[in-house]
Structure 1
Amino acid sequence: MSRRAVGAPLSRVDGRLKVTGRATYAAEHDVKGVVYAVIVDSGIGRGRITGIDARDALARSGVLKVISHLNAPKLAYRPNAGSNNPEGSERLHVFQDDRVRFFGQPVAVVVATTLEAAQHAARLVEVRYAAEKPTTGLAGDRTNKPVTYARGDAEQALGSAEVRMEMTYRTARNHHNAMEPHATIARWNGHRLTVWDKTQWVNGTQEELAAVFGIPKESVCVISPFVGGAFGSGLRAWPHVTIAALAARETGRPVKLVLARRQQYFGTGYRPAYVYKVRLGSARQGRLIAMTHDIRAETSSYEDFQEGVLPTGQMLYSMPNVAQTYERVPLDVNTPLYMRGPGHATTSYIVESAMDELAHELGLDPIELRRRNEPDDDPATRRPFSTRRLRECYTVGAREFGWDRRNPKPRSTRDGDWLIGMGMAAGVYDTNRGAAQARVRLDARGSAVVEAASSDMGPGTYTSMTQVAADALGLDMRAVTCRLGDSIMPPTPPHGGSMTMASVGSAVQDGCDKLRRQAVALAVGDERSPLHGVDAGDVVAGDGRLHVKGDPTRGETYQQLLARNNRTHLETLGSFTPGESRFSMYAYNATFAEVAVDHRLGLVRIRRMLGVYDAGRIISPKLADSQAIGGMVGGIGAALLEHTVTDPRDGRIVNANLADYLVPVNADVPSLRAIYLDGDDREADPIGVKGLGEVVFTGVAPAIANAVFHATGRRVRELPITAEALL
């Protein structure tokens, strides 16, 4: 009897490659004849380049070329809606004019035969500017056209509400800071371009490079088998990818370009800063009547970046009156991008903090307030929820965390010098899906290969796809090989937005189902097969064999079937295309946190955390725990540590390093626990998953912020919560 792979807590199939250093990341590919590129960054935040002197750099041994707007060819830069640059925006055209739009913008690139020579020469390039004063703060009057939403009459309802509250929250800019730096190796062979790149979307990078250089998409090959973390930063091709390809074409040599850690802060995206004003009204017994959301976020002056900050305020709680205004402030900064839990992470912090404030005002338990406002269907769309089990998340979480031991009075519990507090919050994230394909091949040895273009930035995609394929084909995990991260493979959507398992996993399931049916049809039609004449619906796969359901003795192995029919292999192409749904589909969580705050120093320490998730079918519990723990750790960073600081005088990021941009380390991380509700969501996709990578993040920061209030009695409405804010 075959042991099921899906649902088993299996170790990563690529784990040995990673721990032994044999997994090859973007900068590690061995490309013959490679030379090295180093970007020269602008030293002003806005203005024009008036001159570039590269003579000293070019005189250095090993330097091949210095490219800037003065000698770069004009590039096609065709429109490309599929490259994940914001719709209707004009992405940065590198080396195409003398304008400087943000501090750190690439203004030249040095190419040399060694990395050391390129680094030294880059420091010798002299760039002269006509500097202008950059705009870097959210206080300005200029905004892009706002996005609005309204139902009911929020202003009238607020005017008549028994309880009215008004709060303004602020969140800091956050950077992804993945372990692997962004890197690209580019090589031309005639008019064909191959790039080895750190990317979460090989097909998107392929399309963008084709658009930039004005060549057919089929002339670009993008390879990215392993990604050392990204959290959203690899969802589009940044300027350095174009620069590497341009430098390779101009020098006629393969070029490797790796961003320094400092360059990641202005060479790639980030979660934008927000100022978010909330007004809410409720009845005295806690029923929400109205809420308004006035949102301001940063974007770049040349692109209008938007993220999904509106849905949480529309659908998380039942209320008849909602008004939202979402404005993006164009600044002299590089363009933001999606970061783990985009949109919902920001809005969940605001909405869940506001709910906690209301609960305190009304003297209600925070969970009870949420229960009283739980909707029966989606308040924004009036569609039924495919699944929504937040009430169960609250019940399980409260029981497992010991919520009943919480003294509701703030600043009432101490442990020596430490004030102890408990907080909770709900979190939500869209169940995203996209069209995907996967190729499945079964060879005469009885081994299967699954191929799809999707990246794997760390959630365990190699493993989860192998699990799905193994069960669908009735094979042992060791008989299945998963290959990912190459644009010549079947196309997939971006590896982000928690959509990979639902989309690519469903395509793998479809491909394996087709292949199994193909094998069954071959067997039942073969007079020499033990399965000849059996109804195809009565044949199942297990232990590497096809056999009659209920009678494992009547059957044969894949090897026997293919050998007898002189087949070297069977092959199919699986696909998944999400259709229109009459359901509202989201994943949910309830996150609980206990904190300790030093009453004299204001230091905050997390003592324990619990997340309870309604995330559909869990393909791999071990990988799910990795995602949940990582999401909680990231949420600790957002709540207490992470804050990108910009000098308003010139737009310089002053903490562009991991010494000054603080992220959680082992000493910051306490006991973390995750619980997943049993069940699946077949309305979302054939394999019943809802996506997990984002929802594990979305409720963490507000749970911590609410716990800090409970510990101290002081409400801090700005992230990160710093010691000085609590003194």
Structure 2
Amino acid sequence: MTTTTTGTRTTKAVGTAHTRVEGRDKVTGAARYAGEIPFAGLAHGWLVLSTITRGRIRSVETGPVLEMPGVLTVLHHGNAPQVDTDYIGMLGMPPDPTVAVFQHDRVPHAGWPVALVVAETSEQAREAAEALVVQYEEEPHDVTFSGALPDAETTPGISGPGVTEKGDLEAELAGSAVVLDAEYSTPEEHHNSMEPHAVTALWDGGRLEVVDSNQGTVWVANELASLFSLDPASVRVRSEHVGGGFGSKGVRAHQVAAVMAATSLSRPVRVVMTRRQLFSLAGYRSPTIQRVRLGADAEGRLRALDHSCVSATSTVYEFTEPGAGVARVMYDAPAHRTANSVVRLDVPSPTFMRAPGEAPGSFALESAFDELAEKCGIDPVELRLRNEPEVGPVSGLPFSTRRLPECFRVGARRFGWAGRDPRPGLRRDGRWLLGTGTAGASFGAGAMPSTAAATAEADGTFTVRINAADIGTGARTALTLVAADALDVPTERVRVRIGDSDFGPAMIAGGSMGTRSWAWAVTAAAEELRGRLAMGDAVPPEGITVRSDTTEAIGALAQKERHSYGAQFAEVAVDVTTGEVRVRRMLGIFAAGRIVNPLTARNQLTGGMIWGISMALHEEAVRDRNTGALYGADLAGYHISTNADVPVVEADWVDDPDPDDPVGIKGIGEIGIVGAAAAIANAVWHATGVRHRTLPIRPDRVLTAGSRA
């Protein structure tokens, strides 16, 4: 036995910049991702997607394909095993029926999985999949999302109830000195991460082993166990390195198909989605149509706020993009109403996408506030400061902290807002019209129960095991810093292992709750272990392990409303001859809890802001009404911001530790994108004098708007 010591350090790790602990492995290729880990006897599956939008499968002509070189099997609705979808999953939602592949002959949308071809090599599987003939009985379809939406259903979403209301809205609007009533729309948007969705499934000694790219291994393990009616203990999912997720990497069709094939063939089967398949099967942000009505007195203080959001969902699964949810947090009024509703269309199911609800909702609400400021003759920053709520506008709960006013004041000073002439269309730089805009941001700061294990090793190091997922956020590094401080040892003595469902239940990487939830559990385990060692316990060869569970501790968080906040500022240049819009600079000041690692935190925040540029000016998935499929369903046809589109983008923060969190964390994964598109759109108005209530602000829209102005 040996004695492992901790000590008293004057310098803490949390709050200091630290490069990623796995960075060297990633840049040298030593870090293996789900689609490149070798397995003996590996077979390869290739999904076959429907070529019609709505109808039935008449036949799957497998005979010729089964005779092709290397082909092992073709799974489809006629021979695939049945799965169980009658359950509520880890996120409190039923499974999307799209994941229950090959269960019937119905086709509810373009790109529906109709078969899986499995062969010895990926090339053989792809060739055979492209040769597979599927006959259909086609039916009329409807994929058009427009302002005429008589079938919209008010529905609860991930942000709470479908409708919230208080006060007499119409009376307060009628009594307001200034009234704004405007409609805003955002398009269908897709989150194609750098690493495609990939999975390998195999049976090992009666246990299902899955190596996957996902945002929560326990989540995927539990869903697979439910779908295949397995004992959860007999399913293990590993996901050590993930190259991006943004909400899309949950349970998808390829994982279920791989398990089916591995079961049928009794050998490992890998399925990797192509870029084009991701546009059908990985989810996306639904298009929205939003109406915002604001009523204010002569001093700009709100008397009425009405924010409604309609989004599209599929005919097989109800997913709501809760755009009106952001109004439940940001501003209050004596009469306050929000409503989220959906329209069912013959389209793939939407899903979580970075800041679901807040990203499109903030575009509408913060654009409307800019318009109200213009009508009132009040500076946009000042208008927001005048409408700071004292408690949660809908919840009525006190705020844990709310330093949004400080974000605006600091941001305005650093951006140079005080010298801004509010009149639009006056500043020029050669052929460019210049303008500046601002917008507020908020995103919920929750935490979910998690477990962690901390082990004191005989060699004087420490190993922390927690079922976290690092999807590029730097979570593994942040947890290393948190554990080092809790143990009171240098970071070099701490190893953090993540991404294995055998480590026990823990929060997924989602909702900006991952690092906060995991850090809480890591802190609890590490502090208890440190106490054990301080009592002089000797460390045996197998080490000393302490396990934590934060279920009880986190229950107290419901007593307050908790959010991260931000103030976004943007300067744009607009060429009214060509319609080109260029973002020249952006500044975001955030109040987002204690920042664990400034290096990766700034990366997260600026990454969200850059995505806001993409959202404001580029991203738009367009469906062909005739085929029901997307035009240009690839990264060549789907436009995003590139290096040439990204100018000076700065992110910083004000001190804002959560007093009820052991580390003070809130969450930063999504707040960076919230409000960014609105700040840019508001800056375009300031440059040109023309409002753009529809995203993206394409050159043709700038030109046609200018001709109408």
Is the TM-score greater than 0.5?
yes
Question: Of 58, 62, 66, which aligns to 2:66?
Answer: 58
Amino acid corresponding to residue 153 of structure 2 in structure 1: N
Counterpart of 1:35 in structure 2 is 43
Contact 2:203/2:209 (<8 A) preserved: yes
Amino acid corresponding to residue 165 of structure 1 in structure 2: L
Question: Of 691, 707, 712, which aligns to 2:667?
Answer: 691
Counterpart of 1:70 in structure 2 is 78
- How far off is 1:391 after superposition? 1.0
Unaligned runs of 5+ in 1: 524-560
Question: Is structure 2 residue 682 aligned with structure 1 residue 669?
Answer: no
Contact 1:2/1:474 (<8 A) preserved: no
Question: Is structure 2 residue 216 aligned with structure 1 residue 201?
Answer: yes
Counterpart of 2:190 in structure 1 is 175
Question: Of 404, 428, 438, which aligns to 2:418?
Answer: 404
Question: Is structure 2 residue 254 aligned with structure 1 residue 246?
Answer: no
Contact 2:290/2:307 (<8 A) preserved: yes
Amino acid corresponding to residue 151 of structure 2 in structure 1: R
Where do residues 524-563 of structure 1 align in structure 2 (5 Å cutoff)? Answer: 562=539
Select the structure of larger CA radius of gyration: 1
Amino acid corresponding to residue 129 of structure 1 in structure 2: Y
Counterpart of 1:94 in structure 2 is 101
Counterpart of 2:5 in structure 1 is none
Counterpart of 2:282 in structure 1 is 268
- How far off is 1:141 after superposition? 2.7
Q: What is the alpha-carbon distance in structure 2 between the residues aligned to residue 702 and residue 498 of structure 1?
A: 21
Counterpart of 1:213 in structure 2 is 228
Q: What is the alpha-carbon distance in structure 2 between the residues aligned to residue 424 and residue 494 of structure 1?
A: 32
Q: Pick which of 301-310 and 118-127 moved more.
A: 301-310
Q: What is the alpha-carbon distance in structure 2 between the residues aligned to residue 152 and residue 670 of structure 1?
A: 45
Q: What is the alpha-carbon distance in structure 1 between the residues aligned to residue 542 and residue 121 of structure 2?
A: 47
Question: Of 118, 123, 144, which aligns to 1:137?
Answer: 144
Contact 1:138/1:296 (<8 A) preserved: no
Contact 1:454/1:492 (<8 A) preserved: yes
Counterpart of 1:114 in structure 2 is 121
SS at match of 2:610: helix
Contact 2:88/2:95 (<8 A) preserved: no
Contact 1:440/1:512 (<8 A) preserved: yes
Deviation per CA, 1:380-428, whole angstroms, max 9, x where unpaired? 1221111001111111000101111222110110000111110010000
Amino acid corresponding to residue 341 of structure 1 in structure 2: A
Question: Is structure 2 residue 514 aligned with structure 1 residue 500?
Answer: yes
Counterpart of 1:377 in structure 2 is 391
Counterpart of 2:158 in structure 1 is none
- How far off is 1:267 after superposition? 1.0
Amino acid corresponding to residue 690 of structure 1 in structure 2: K
- How far off is 1:88 after superposition? 8.6
- How far off is 1:201 after superposition? 1.3
Deviation per CA, 1:564-597, whole angstroms, max 9, x where unpaired? xx56422101232311432111110001001111
SS at match of 1:310: helix
- How far off is 1:664 after superposition? 0.9
Contact 1:133/1:650 (<8 A) preserved: no
What TM-score do the two structures reach when normalised by structure 2?
A: 0.94
Counterpart of 2:30 in structure 1 is 22
Counterpart of 1:459 in structure 2 is 473
Counterpart of 2:565 in structure 1 is 588
Amino acid corresponding to residue 640 of structure 1 in structure 2: L
- How far off is 1:190 after superposition? 5.2
Contact 2:329/2:393 (<8 A) preserved: yes
Counterpart of 2:599 in structure 1 is 622
Amino acid corresponding to residue 665 of structure 1 in structure 2: T
SS at match of 2:615: helix
What TM-score do the two structures reach when normalised by structure 1?
A: 0.92
Where do residues 141-160 of structure 1 align in structure 2 (5 Å cutoff)? Answer: 141-146=150-155, 147-160=162-175
Counterpart of 2:57 in structure 1 is 49
Deviation per CA, 1:454-489, whole angstroms, max 9, x where unpaired? 111011011000001111112211111110001001
Amino acid corresponding to residue 30 of structure 2 in structure 1: R
Question: Of 681, 685, 691, which aligns to 1:705?
Answer: 681
Q: What is the alpha-carbon distance in structure 2 between the residues aligned to residue 257 and residue 197 of structure 1?
A: 10
SS at match of 1:509: helix
SS at match of 2:24: helix
Counterpart of 1:345 in structure 2 is 359
- How far off is 1:329 after superposition? 0.6
Counterpart of 2:329 in structure 1 is 315
Q: What is the alpha-carbon distance in structure 2 between the residues aligned to residue 133 and residue 413 of structure 1?
A: 52
Contact 1:641/1:664 (<8 A) preserved: yes
Q: What is the alpha-carbon distance in structure 1 between the residues aligned to residue 107 and residue 94 of structure 2?
A: 22
Contact 1:423/1:707 (<8 A) preserved: yes
Counterpart of 1:530 in structure 2 is none
Deviation per CA, 1:506-533, whole angstroms, max 9, x where unpaired? 100001000000111236xxxxxxxxxx
Q: What is the alpha-carbon distance in structure 1 between the residues aligned to residue 85 and residue 542 of structure 2?
A: 45
Amino acid corresponding to residue 522 of structure 1 in structure 2: G
Question: Of 550, 560, 563, which aligns to 1:576?
Answer: 550
SS at match of 1:696: coil
Q: What is the alpha-carbon distance in structure 1 between the residues aligned to residue 178 and residue 468 of structure 2?
A: 50
Counterpart of 1:474 in structure 2 is 488
- How far off is 1:81 after superposition? 2.4
Size of the aligned set, in residue pairs, is: 684
- How far off is 1:314 after superposition? 2.1
Contact 1:508/1:575 (<8 A) preserved: no
Unaligned runs of 5+ in 2: 1-8, 156-161, 704-709
Amino acid corresponding to residue 499 of structure 2 in structure 1: G
Q: What is the alpha-carbon distance in structure 1 between the residues aligned to residue 154 and residue 334 of structure 2?
A: 26
Contact 2:320/2:340 (<8 A) preserved: no
Amino acid corresponding to residue 231 of structure 1 in structure 2: F
Q: What is the alpha-carbon distance in structure 1 between the residues aligned to residue 99 and residue 28 of structure 2?
A: 39
Q: Pick which of 379-388 and 349-358 moved more.
A: 379-388
Counterpart of 2:575 in structure 1 is 598
